[in-house]
Amino acid sequence: MIHHNQAAAAFLAVPDDSEYLCLVADLLDHPAVREMARYPQHGTTTCLEHCISVSYLSYLFCTKHGLNARCAARAGLLHDLFLYDWHTYRPRKGERLHGFEHPRKALANAEQYFSLCPVERDCILRHMFPLTLTPPRYKEGFVLMWMDKYCSLMETFRRPVMARYALQERRLERHFALAEAARQPLAEPEKRHG
């Protein structure tokens, strides 16, 4: 986990960051979100710890880069709200494997308990891109998607998620810079004289 602040949220390991907590306090207090603490996600990390890490790192990046940090923080916390242990879950008839199905389940659960904006909905639904073929529609969705992959890797190898955060941040900045450059119209060719 990132930091521990037991005073801010009893029984939960959450970032010691009051501005972040203001944005997600209602979610952290909800029984459905807390239920994620019952399910393992990667290694010894629970689903709730994973979602808090993805939420907080997405929030940090979006805050620094002028994106919608509130949407990123809230969607990050809800992106894996599928509410079962995926290691032992058996797909029902007609269901595909967990990796493909769980974004839709997480979104259905999130919509049952919370009111979501279009950005939050898209972030949750598209976070498994490119496994699921449709990419996120918003920049916040790309941030969440990459932070999810980064946190999953760190958790699988039992490393603190902040250990290589600066590197991940620079990667994502380069990714956005390249995407922006690709959108620029080509420069006018220089006129030849003589």
The least distance separating Fe ion from the CB of residue 179, rounded to whole angstroms, comes to 23
Which lies closer to Fe ion via its Cβ, residue 148 or residue 169? Answer: 148
Which lies closer to Fe ion via its Cβ, residue 109 or residue 186? Answer: 109
**CA atoms in the 13 A half-sphere facing the CB of 93:** 0
Binding residues vs Fe ion (CB under 5 A)? 80, 148
Nearest CA to 61 out of 49, 50, 72 is that of 72
The least distance separating Fe ion from the CB of residue 79, rounded to whole angstroms, comes to 6
DSSP state of 164: T
- Cα dihedral 123→127→130→134 (10° resolution): -40
The least distance separating Fe ion from the CB of residue 141, rounded to whole angstroms, comes to 13
Distance CA 59, CA 23 (A): 10
| Whether 36 contacts 47, CB under 8 Å | yes
Which lies closer to Fe ion via its Cβ, residue 6 or residue 156? Answer: 156
**CA atoms in the 13 A half-sphere facing the CB of 36:** 28
Which lies closer to Fe ion via its Cβ, residue 67 or residue 103? Answer: 103
The least distance separating Fe ion from the CB of residue 124, rounded to whole angstroms, comes to 9
